[in-house]
Structure 1
Amino acid sequence: MLSVEKLTKVYRTGDTALTDVTFTVPKGQVVGLIGPSGAGKSTLIRCVNRLVEPTSGAVRLGDLDITRLRARDLRRARRRIGMIFQEYALVERLTVMENVLSGRLGYVPFWRSFTRRFPGPDIARAFALLDRVGLSAHADKRADALSGGQRQRVGIARALEQEPDLLLIDEPTASLDPRTSRQIMRLIVEICRESGLPAIINIHDVVLAQQFADRIIGLQSGRVVFDGPPAQLTGDALTAIYGAEDWTAMRQSAADDAEAEAEERDEARKMLRAL
């Protein structure tokens, strides 16, 4: 379980990015983190794994207080936190398999990583993960030969190769078309439920967050102004997060996306029956 307690971040400029942010994420829960640009969403995710140093507060992963760790112990702790990036963060000249295996760099000696000689169990797990994300046929392709959706799937497999206890996911669908976005979100949620992994997804698309997340946390000016199930994300709640707006069109878009999701599932079932 992840526990965030009164997390605050004040930059040297005096700008306050986060103020007393407190929440817990139990095993297997997928949290959609929403809010306007500048609300502190990316800062929050980066404070959790201390890519950004919090000013005060605590972040605990199980019994481990991440905010109190020194450099060496922090490096070890980060092995337990898988990160999936908006821009994929792949090494494009390397193959898909090599990118996935880079998720084990924190576990193997330098000479193994330098010569790309990973232990057999690590390689077997990488093949299994590529199969799980639907890329087993692309293991030997260079990363720069893949589509955006395929690259994001490689990023998911790489994060899972770490065998993490938590996933932090930063705008996984920002560069993807609507159908691929739904596929990626569905894949992330299914994997989290299968593995009992807690996850926080920083996402701008409120409709996708409502459709796939188990819980929504809304930030406004660095403070939590909403924390609850997607069904409670009413027009009033959205106004508290984003400001006054007519949310009718968004709710219609959510209904349309739910219908499209159902059609995709029906199509997938028909294809499976035909095999």
Structure 2
Amino acid sequence: MLQIDSLTKRYSNSDVALKGVSLNLRAGEVVGLIGPSGAGKSTLIRCVNRLVTPTSGRIALDGQDLALVSGSALRRVRRQIGMIFQEYALVERLTVMENLLSGRLGYVGFWRSWARRFDAQDIARAFELLARVGLAGMENKRADALSGGQRQRVGIARALMQQPRLLLVDEPTASLDPKTSRQIMRLIMELCAERGLAAIVNIHDVVLATQYLPRIVGLQAGQIVYDGPAAELDAGALTRIYGDEDWTAITRKHSDQMQQAGTDGARAAAYPEPEVMP
């Protein structure tokens, strides 16, 4: 579905953010992107949706090279790519519903959006998404009246309004408390599974990443130094990604989580919940 080949990004000040990055994503596959600050994680995501223009390399979505498109062709491609931002990127003075419907800008155009002329089908889809992300009944609240977790849920629903095939998620839990972070990660994974969406999730919390994301890609100084299952992200891999450190606490916590997941799965199989008749 998504093929990134030898992607390089050099900024005008001669800083090289990406050095020949190659990465493939299958339809429906969700990948966690980890690494220290300045490793190139956000640049990689922004190159994929062309918020940043790569210096060289190829980014192909279903065979179409995104590095070569511009103008109306780029706008059409971006309809297939939903973006979820760290700082939510909501219009504070607008309502939840108005922010949600802005996800249809790529389809209805600026003037129809400005005049609040949306199709009944789009409005119905917005109500469905609000209910799905746990915000039913909040459509008329202003964005600036929401908590951080609620704002992120609006951002997720807005991205899904595009009906994308690929989600790019940039630090979705950076501003959230631990409980809300887990809820948001669980919601993202459930929505991707329900809709068959592929996703790249840039995340700084290694424990959270290994708990929810099956495949981990580690960046260091603009290069991929780890690409594999979350279960195999050991102290050696973490050292390659982040540098020398005592990773005992993180690897132990990850191991405990894997064991607990196995215990919970076995318990659920042995003692299934009784079926509730309608």
Same-fold status (TM-score > 0.5): yes
Given residue 231 of structure 2, which amino acid in structure 1 is its aligned partner?
A
Tell me how far apart the structure 2 counterparts of residues 189 and 230 of structure 1 sit (CA, whole Å).
Answer: 15
Letter in 2 for 1:111: W
1:80 Cα deviation (Å)? 1.1
Deviation at 1:93, TM superposition (A): 0.9
Q: Deviation of residue 257 (structure 1)?
A: 6.1
Residue 41 of structure 2 is aligned to residue 41 of structure 1: yes
Task: Report the secondary structure of 2:86's partner residue.
Answer: coil
Please state how far the C-alpha of 1:256 moved relative to its aligned partner: 6.3
Aligned to 1:85: 85
Which residues of 2 match residues 80-159 of structure 1 at below 5 A? 80-159=80-159
Task: Name the residue aligned to 2:16.
Answer: 16
Q: TM-score, normalised by structure 1?
A: 0.92
Q: Specify the alignment match of 1:173 in structure 2.
A: 173
- Give 1:111 deviation, angstroms: 3.2
Alignment of 1:52-91 (within 5 A): 52-91=52-91
1:144-172 deviation line (CA, Å, top 9, x unaligned): 11110010000000000000111000000
1:83 positional shift: 0.4
Task: Give, in whole Å, the separation in 1 of the partners of 2:44 and 2:200.
Answer: 10
Q: Report deviation, 1:250.
A: 1.2
Q: In 1, Cα distance between the equivalents of 2:109 and 2:3? A: 31
Q: How far apart are residue 254 of structure 1 and its match?
A: 3.3
Alpha-carbon separation, structure 2, partners of 1:95 and 1:220? 40
Distance between the aligned counterparts of 2:154 and 2:256, measured in 1?
29
- Cα distance change on mapping 1:110 and 1:14 into 2, 3 Å: closer
CA root-mean-square deviation? 2.0
Contact 2:234 2:251 in 1 (8 A): no
Q: Structure 1 95/31 Cα, relative in aligned 2: closer, same or farther at 3 Å?
A: same
Q: Distance in 2 between matches of 1:118 and 1:161?
A: 12
The share of aligned pairs that are identical, in percent, is 66
Query: What's the counterpart of residue 242 of structure 1?
Result: 242
CA distance in 2 between counterparts of 1:92 and 1:255 reads 41
What is the CA-CA distance between 1:44 and the residue it aligns to?
0.4
Query: 2:255 & 2:153 partners in 1: Cα distance?
Result: 26
Which whole-Å CA distance do the structure 2 matches of 1:70 and 1:177 have between them? 39
Inter-partner Cα distance in structure 1 for 2:205 and 2:78: 27
Write the letter of the residue equivalent to 2:232.
Answer: Q
1:208 corresponding residue in structure 2: 208
Equivalences, count: 267
Which 10-residue stretch deviates more, 100-109 or 155-164?
100-109
3-state secondary structure, aligned to 2:240: helix
Return closer, same or farther for 1:208/1:123 CA change in 2, 3 Å cut-off. Answer: same
Matched to 1:189, the amino acid is M
What is the distance in 2 between the residues matched to 1:76 and 1:234? 41
Alignment of 1:244-263 (within 5 A): 244-254=244-254
CA offset digits 1:91-143 (Å, max 9, x no partner):
11111111111000111143321111200110011111111101012111111
Instruction: For residue 217 of structure 1, report the CA deviation from its aligned partner.
Output: 0.3
SS of residue in 2 equivalent to 1:60:
strand
Distance in 2 (CA, whole Å) between partners of 1:170 and 1:257 is 24
Give the whole-Å Cα distance in 1 for the aligned partners of 2:4 and 2:48. Answer: 8
Measure the CA separation in 1 of the matches of 2:223 and 2:148.
33
- 1:29-82: CA deviation from partner (whole Å, max 9, x where unpaired): 111000001100000000111111100001111122111102221112111110
Distance 1:158 1:106 in 2: 12
Gaps in structure 1 of 5+ consecutive residues? none
Residues 109, 17 of structure 1: alpha-carbon distance in 2 compared, 3 angstrom cutoff: closer
SS in 1 for 2:108: coil
What is the deviation of 1:88? 0.3
1:214 Cα deviation after fit: 1.8
Runs (5+) with no aligned partner, structure 2: none
